[in-house]
Amino acid sequence: MKCRYPDVFAAAMLNAQPLGFYAPAQLVRDAREHGVEVREVDVNLSDWDCTLEKFPSPLAGEGGGRRPPDEGSARERLEARLATRSRNASLPRASRRDPSSGHASPGHLPPQGGKEDRLHPRHAAMAAEIRATHAVRLGLLQIAGVKENEMKQLVARRGAGYDSARDLWLRSGLEPAVLERLADADAFRSLGLDRREALWAVRGLGRVGDQDDLPLFALSRPERDAEPDAKLPPMLLGAHVVEDYRRLSLSLKAHPVAFMRARLDARGVRRSETLATLKTGDRVAVAGLVLVRQRPGTAQGVIFMTLEDETGVANLIVWPKAFERLRATVIGARFVVATGKLQNESGVVHLIVERMEDLTPMLGLLSREDPEAAPSGFAEAPLPASPRRQGDRFAQTQLFYDPRLPPTPEQREAARALPTGRSFH
């Protein structure tokens, strides 16, 4: 099934969470690399479970655009209405930004074209075997903190679709606190609202003088002018990504490492997808989010780590002596850069770790106006090394961050939102 129907496989695996070894973000990344379009969670289109959807997407702009559906079924009429409503607001103003530049760009959208165009190059040989015909719509179960019975109530009562935050509130019968969780998860796109606009609309429900105030109670209140619509500043793409990870444990908009890529490139840090082109013995550096740490009982103390950047994954080997020096970083860091010698044998690539630096504080850059501007505490040149034995070639030299400085609130907030990695023994 995984080979021929990766769309079905991905939906089934996501619905079977928690699985232990594979987190939802990695399942989604693998599905997308195999040509599967994965779509955002939405109050009008998502069920409790992840589901399969036909092409094109009912939301304008999602998945690279849409064609008008055929007339006929109620579902198709709903999709046509949702597409018309969302055409001018289907994507966040900030989410159309290029992660590396902060400027508007559609680059995060799935590539258009046929199945072969959507496949990752390393899976191109599988094009003839893959028979996927659907996209995967993320289910409401992916949202942290929601209850199954409440979400099934939302689905059962939506009929031909909700028209506004007020309509959703009145017909679903859900408390505003529940709707806030949905807004936090950016699930109001079909209503033409991004995350920040949806939160503003939900928090105004029932407020005296608000346009969404209940008319029955408004009659008994003195007349007052309705509160004008607020012109909210656009939410930065990096801030969207942090909130996606906080609420959904994944993001379809961009990968966190993409925001630091220019800085990493300047330091000679390789993208993970380039490692397979190098030869055994090359000394390289690679950076990524820590996905998995494994220390099998039969490995004599060897630790295997998996890092993920915006291009794929890199597999690391940490020998016991290296682990003694790097224990705190190996165990506690969420985002690291590792340096060492490459092993590339028969297409199996590993990096033998000699040095490792904790870059977790850099995640605070995601919510900054300019991710590439160097904030206080981030080194523009290598920092002085800690005292060490003369001739110790493995001594740590901090290249990115001065660990002597306390983390800022935004660094702590971003670090809490991003995954900690999974450890297995």
Question: Residue 67: what pLDDT?
Answer: 35
State the pairing for strand pair 312-318/348-358.
parallel
Give residue-wise pLDDT tens across range 270-313: 999 999 999 999 999 999 999 999 998 877 889 999 999 999 99
More confident residue, 374 or 12: 12
Q: How do 135-137 and 51-53 pair as beta strands?
A: antiparallel
Residue written as token pair 């961009």: 254
**CA distance linking residue 88 with residue 106, whole number of Å:** 14
Q: What percent of the chain has pLDDT over 70?
A: 72
State the Cα–Cα distance between residues 44 and 360, nearest whole angstrom: 36
Q: Give me the sheet containing 135-137, strands edge to edge.
A: 38-39, 135-137, 51-53
Q: Which residues contact 386 (CB under 8 A, 6 or more apart)?
A: 395, 396
| Between 409 and 28, residue with greater pLDDT | 28
Nearest to 172 by CA among 144, 146, 211: 146
Helix (H) or strand (E) holding 201: helix 195-203
pLDDT of residue 108: 36
Residue 364's CB is within 10 A of a number of other CB atoms, namely 23
Specify which of 1-5, 92-96, 242-246 reaches the highest per-range mean pLDDT: 242-246
Q: What is the pLDDT of residues 258-277, one digit of tens each?
A: 999 998 999 999 999 999 99
pLDDT at 154 over 60: yes
Q: Which three-class secondary structure state does DSSP give residue 352?
A: strand
> Which tens digit of pLDDT belongs to each residue from 359-405?
988 888 887 755 655 444 455 444 333 334 444 444 455 556 555 56
Residue-wise pLDDT tens digits, 66-90: 333 333 444 454 555 555 554 444 4
CA distance 226 to 241: 34
What pLDDT score does 200 carry?
Answer: 93
All domains of the chain in start order, with CATH = 6-218 (no CATH), 268-424 (2.40.50.140)
The confidence score (pLDDT) of residue 241 equals 93
In angstroms, the CA 34 to CA 314 distance is 18
Q: How confident is the model at residue 115 (pLDDT cuts 50, 70, 90)?
A: low
| Bigger pLDDT: 86 vs 163 | 163
Query: Residue 339's closest CA among 348, 292, 347, 325?
Result: 325
Q: Does residue 101 contact residue 107 with C-beta atoms inside 8 Å?
A: no
Q: What is the pLDDT of residue 219?
A: 53
The CA distance from 184 to 194, in Å, is: 10
Q: Would the CA dihedral through 22, 279, 258, 136 be positive or negative?
A: negative
**pLDDT band for position 100 (cuts 50, 70, 90):** very low
Which pLDDT score is estimated for 298?
78
Which range has the worst mean pLDDT, 21-35, 77-91, 143-157?
Answer: 77-91
R_g of the chain, CA atoms, integer Å: 24
- pLDDT bracket for residue 346 (50, 70, 90): confident
DSSP annotation of 49 reads S
Per DSSP, the residues of 142-166 read GSTT--HHHHHHHHHH-TT---SHH
* pLDDT recorded at residue 63: 64
Q: What is the DSSP string of 205-269?
A: TT-TT-TTS-HHHHTTS---PPPPPP-PPPPPHHHHHHHHHHHHS--SS--GGGGGHHHHHHTTP
**Residue 228 confidence class, pLDDT cut points 50, 70, 90:** low
pLDDT at residue 237, as a whole number: 92
Is the pLDDT score of 423 beyond 90?
no
